[in-house]
Amino acid sequence: MSAPADLAALRQEIADACRVLAARGLAEGYLGHISLRIDEERLLVRCRGPEERGLAYTTADDIRLVTLEGAPGGEGELDGWSPPNELPLHTEVLRRRPEVAAVVHAHPPAVVAADLAGLGIRPIVGAFDMPGTKLAAGGVPVYPRGVLVRDRRLAGEMVVAMGDRPVVVLRGHGLTSSGGSVAEAVLRAVSVDQIARLSLTVASAGGQLRDLPEEDMAELPDLGGGFNLTTAWRHELARLG
């Protein structure tokens, strides 16, 4: 299949999303990547180029078209760039979850620390972050192996642990987040990170984590994708300056 005519715009969208992850503290160094399904055989993914500087400095050139097997998805696509070692983490999610369009992998320190401290991602907040609360209420599972997800066997284990949920925590490693768009996958990762940070703060203050009461959960409205997704993403891009 031929690539969409706006492939250049999609490269820029993913590059901006990588910078959002870094600005939010989910990928402060040079580890982490975002992918977007293009067709049945190919995806755009952040690759490592000859002048790698980290996610905060990602450019559209760093986003390359590859096949599910990691081969170039077009002429010259991998000239000077290498797919991430954990490409199978992305491709196995895309293979097994047809509803998923985008995959985020990041190493948020707060998410790692909260999990190692035995603090699960729970619906501890309410109107503070309604999409995040609802995501947490549905469950954020944990893949209990702190390994580099470098092949389909390990990626398959991770996807099994993930189940039908949009986000999975990788013990001692980070998280994998998915969505119907790049923005949705990133915003879900941001929400999980915020809840992890709050959980650590509460625990360090000697408090106990308590789930939002059912009656309060029932009062949380759905403000719709125009607010929860479009406006939220516009804000994230504006924060980049």
Q: 39, 32 in Cβ contact below 8 A?
A: no
> What residues have CB less than 8 Å from 15, skipping those under 6 apart?
46, 58, 59, 60, 62, 63
What values do phi and psi take at 104, rounded to 5? -115, 135
Q: Distance from CA of residue 96 to its chain's centroid?
A: 17
Select which of 13, 28, 77, 86 is catalytic: 86
The full 3-state SS of 171-210, as one line of letters, equals: CCCEEEEEECCHHHHHHHHHHHHHHHHHHHHHHHCCCCCC
Please confirm, yes or no, whether 77 is among the known catalytic residues.
no
In sign, the C-alpha dihedral spanning 71, 77, 82, 88 is: negative
Q: Would you tell me how many other CB atoms lie within 10 Å of the CB of residue 106?
A: 28
Contact 57, 21 (CB under 8 A): no
Q: What burial letters (b/e) apply to 191-201, b meaning 16+ CB within 10 Å? A: bbbbbbbbbbe
> Which residues are catalytic, by number?
86
